[in-house]
Structure 1
Amino acid sequence: MTHTSNTPHMNVTPAELGFAMPAEFSPHSACWMLWPQRPDTWRYGAKPAQQAFVEVATAIAESETVYVGVNDEQYENARNQLPAHVRVVELSSNDAWMRDVGPTFVTHPDGRLAMVDWEFNAWGGLKGGLYFPWDKDRRIRTKIAEILGIPRFEAPVVLEGGAIHVDGDGTLITTEECLLNPNRNPDLSRQRMENVLHDYLGVEKVIWLPRGCHLDETDGHIDNLCCFVAPGEVALNWCDDEHDPQHAISREALEVLENATDARGRALKVHKLPQPGPLHIAEEEASGIDRLSSSHPRQPGDRMAASYANFYIGNSVVVMPLLDPTHDDQAKATLQDLFPDRRVIGVPAREILLGGGNIHCITQQQPLCVASPGMSRPE
């Protein structure tokens, strides 16, 4: 029988059982999101951010089922704002970054679905973390496993979903700045981290980029810098201005990528996405945010880590952030060329960026599970 207990597997890893993480461009059965309401992250009681989240959820819902988890006190408001076909579920959280606090789903060739439950410490714990406490966020994966009735594998490391990208063909890309950061796993070597990624995601090769985007408060999440768009192909946040700190970061990433091969021995093809901006927090944008000692400060003039690489790949759509009229059309055209069979939808996303992330950060895909030919699914 298929095991659906929410009791975590302690002595066996997903890879040992044949599970692996599929690529984001593989078919989904759903997308999971959370509802913004935290006043020290989102300005003016999160009302502008809520509108942006509604637009993202509506766009993705053209492509697949969307679940939005909501704290009880915001349930009625969210239900009234979101389209009827978006499913609203009570799912308490400390903030709205489902990519990082939600499950990393893995699939089995026989059609089974499971999840990896990473440790979470709010992007650094008490050494640079973005808020405290994070107790509700820590329970989200357990609750989703219960809702779906799927196995949950507890991983022995701190890791956020935005820190990894896979091609579904054995390759994972990440940054040293994040996964090897002392505020995540101070005693973990690079080789041990690779072993964990192999054991829990079924990957065979890890490509390490040195750093993430300039001033990214997540300590260098890969999903803001670079992502797989197809096997052997990546999109990279690119900056031409040699005086911009992002230029050196993008250049060193390009050098690593151009000299790397994936798990199947393919050289990587790199597609450059123009960097928006640079974009900074305006006075009126900062003034609407609650200032608490337990949360990350957001001051007027602060530069934001804006990137068009922070998009979501749905079944039939690609939902990208609109951030800068100077570069929006170019970025959209590039993504449309990369995804000719999907419709690229641009969503005004500055309100999400003001909170510290973007569209990929607030979404988490649930893969569609289909048994491989010749395999029968257990009853």
Structure 2
Amino acid sequence: MAWRMPAETAPHERTWMAFPREGLTLGDTDAQRTAGYETWTAVARAVAEFEPVTMLVDPTETARARRLLGDHATLLETPVDEFWMRDHGPTFVVDDERPGVLGAVDWIFNGWGAPDWAQWRLSAAHARTVAAHLGAELVSSVLVNEGGGIHVDGEGTVLLTDTVQLDPRRNPFADRSRVEAEMARTLGTTTAIWLPRGLTRDYDDMGTNGHVDIVATFATPGRVLLHAQQDAGHPDHAVMPEIRAALAEATDAAGRRLEIVDLPAPAALRDEEGFVDWSYVNHLVVNGGVIACGFGDPVADDRARGILADVYPGRRVVTVDARELFARGGGIHCITQQQPVTAVAP
């Protein structure tokens, strides 16, 4: 077996999501809960314009999911506690030597380092649930990892973060070589580019400790989109040069130096909880489109749409207001997971 994770820009069979359920992440008030349901639904409806959506739904939320989603998603009932599908769900891989075979990597999920507040034990089973539903081959991993902690170019390169895969709350005995060997086995990568850290807000109690999918992503092999905080009043203004330097010094699996394309942050610096981590990097590429994060900033949102349209030519960019997602610790990429099309044997 030679598993390989295709680039997000490769054709998709569908997108997977998990529907919210009541609890800490969704919010304490009716207004917060309503906003959460509406935002997850808005993302699903936007994705469904381009490709099918399958939504994992806790039985307690099935009626609400049917009412809000209508025919925009296929529902699959299963126990749910957390609903950041990118992280607790499977990472899909293909085997180029066996056309038509789909693999589902089952990382160990412990709620981003087993913090006291996290409710994750039900959703930790989702990779196995989805693999069984699809008839995919389960690729079991001993690594504690989340899908938001990796980005691949589909040609052998993976972006990682020291503070995620080497987090002692996740993998206390891991080192870079062990992580890279596991990425090679499960994702087919041969070159790892390690970023030193993530964005400042991501180190709060309800953060992920530095997920890469809010910082940098491959637009194409050899070309990276990078979050840019241009306001010196935000702590990420000092963080980003260190991350940029790591990318500028790296070479990918093909031996190329990376072209770096900036995605400037919106103008807002703070919300009620502190400095924001609002990032346009946390978009989802879909068949024929891009689902982009919006932040109620017409100038910055429009600028981001233009950059995304330029680096993903031929795709229609659709913006969905992501502020309610970021208030809960993530963005559009974090709540979605693409299932690639598997090649059919001739």
Scaled to the shorter chain, the TM-score interval is: over 0.9
Structure 1, unpaired ranges of 5+: 1-16, 283-300
Establish whether residue 315 from structure 1 lines up as the match of residue 302 from structure 2: no
Change (3 A) 1:184 1:278: farther
- Match of residue 13 from structure 1: none
C-alpha distance in 2, partners of 1:152/1:124?
23
| Counterpart in the other structure of 1:22 | 6
Classify the secondary structure of the residue corresponding to 1:84: helix
Q: Write the distance in 2 (CA, Å) between the matches of 1:80 and 1:86.
A: 11
Q: Shift in Å at residue 302 of structure 1?
A: 2.9
Contact 1:32 1:363 in 2 (8 A): yes
Q: For 1:242, what is the secondary structure of its paired residue?
A: coil
How far apart in 1 are the matches of 2:247 and 2:261?
11
| Amino acid aligned to 1:225 | V
Matched ranges for 1:1-379 at <5 A: 17-43=1-27, 44-45=29-30, 46-109=33-96, 110-125=99-114, 128=115, 130-132=117-119, 134-216=120-202, 217-282=207-272, 301-325=273-297, 326-371=299-344
Q: Which residue of 2 aligns with 1:294?
A: none
Q: TM-score, normalised by structure 1?
A: 0.86
Is the CA contact 1:94–1:137 (under 8 Å) kept in the aligned structure 2? yes
| Alpha-carbon displacement from aligned partner over 1:257-308 (angstroms, at most 9, x marks no partner) | 12211101111111101112445443xxxxxxxxxxxxxxxxxx33332111
TM-score normalised by structure 2 residue count: 0.93
What is the CA–CA distance in structure 2 between the aligned matches of 1:351 and 1:85, rounded to whole Å? 21
Which consecutive unaligned segments of at least 5 residues does structure 2 have? none
Moved more, 78-87 or 152-161: 78-87
AA aligned to 2:106 is: D
Shift of residue 129, structure 1, vs aligned partner: 5.6
1: CA distance, partners of 2:218 / 2:108: 24
Does the 8 Å CA contact 2:86/2:333 hold for their aligned counterparts?
yes
The 2-side partners of 1:94 and 1:48 are apart by 18
For 1:10, the equivalent position in structure 2 comes to none
Amino acid of the structure 2 residue aligned with 1:199: R
- 3-state DSSP of counterpart to 2:70: coil
Q: Which amino acid aligns with 2:331?
A: N
Query: Do 1:304 and 1:356's aligned partners in 2 also have CA atoms closer than 8 Å?
Result: no
- Secondary structure of the corresponding residue to residue 162 of structure 1: helix
Task: Report the Cα offset of residue 321 of structure 1.
Answer: 0.9
Output one character per residue of 1:33-55: Cα deviation in whole Å (capped at 9) or x when no partner.
01112332123352111111111
SS at match of 1:172: strand
Q: Hey, what's the Cα distance between the residues in 1 that align with 2:46 and 2:195? A: 31
For 1:42 and 1:279, the matched residues in 2 are separated by: 23
Aligned identity (percent) is 38
Superposition RMSD on alpha carbons, in Å?
1.4
Size of the aligned set, in residue pairs, is 336
Which structure is larger by alpha-carbon Rg, 1 or 2?
A: 1
Q: Against the structure 1 CA distance between its residues 209 and 135, is the aligned structure 2 distance closer, same or farther, given a 3 Å change threshold?
A: same
Q: Contact 2:214 / 2:282 at 8 angstroms: preserved in 1?
A: yes
CA displacement, residues 63-101 of structure 1 (integer Å, 9 cap, x when unaligned): 111011111111011111113142122122112100000
- SS of the aligned residue for 1:29 comes to strand
Higher mean C-alpha deviation, range 67-76 or range 88-97: 88-97
